[in-house]
Amino acid sequence: MNKTEVFQLLKENSNPRGIENWKKCGVKDSGLKSFGIGLTQLRKLAKQIGRDHQLALQLWKSDIYDAKVIGLLIDEPKKITREQAEQQVESLAGGYLAHVFASCDATLPKTPFAFELAQDWIASDDANRRRCGYSLIYELSKKNPKGMDDDYLLQLIEQIKSKIHGEDMWVRESMNTALMGIGKRSKRLHQAALKAAKSIGPVDIDYGDDNSCQPLDVVKHLTSDHLRKKLGV
What's the pLDDT score for residue 103? 83
Overall average pLDDT of the 117-129 stretch = 96
Instruction: State what percent of residues in the chain have pLDDT above 70.
Output: 94
Contact at 8 Å (CB) between 207 and 213?
yes
Instruction: Give the three-state DSSP class for 64.
Output: strand
What's the pLDDT score for residue 206? 81
What's the pLDDT score for residue 210? 59
Q: Judge whether residue 222 has pLDDT over 80.
A: yes
Q: How far apart are the first and last CA of the chain?
A: 49
Contact at 8 Å (CB) between 197 and 162?
no
Domain locations along the chain: 1-76, 84-233
The pLDDT tens digits for 189-205 are: 999 999 999 999 999 88
Q: Judge whether residue 207 has pLDDT over 70.
A: yes
The pLDDT tens digits for 17-65 are: 988 888 776 665 677 889 999 999 999 999 999 999 999 999 999 999 9
Distance between CA atoms of residues 190 and 108, nearest Å: 26
Residue type at position 176 = N
Q: What angle do CA 64, 66, 72 make, to 5 degrees?
A: 105
Contact at 8 Å (CB) between 129 and 121?
yes
The pLDDT tens digits for 57-96 are: 999 999 999 999 999 999 999 999 999 999 999 988 666 7
Distance between CA atoms of residues 231 and 233, nearest Å: 6
Instruction: Give the three-state DSSP class for 2.
Output: coil
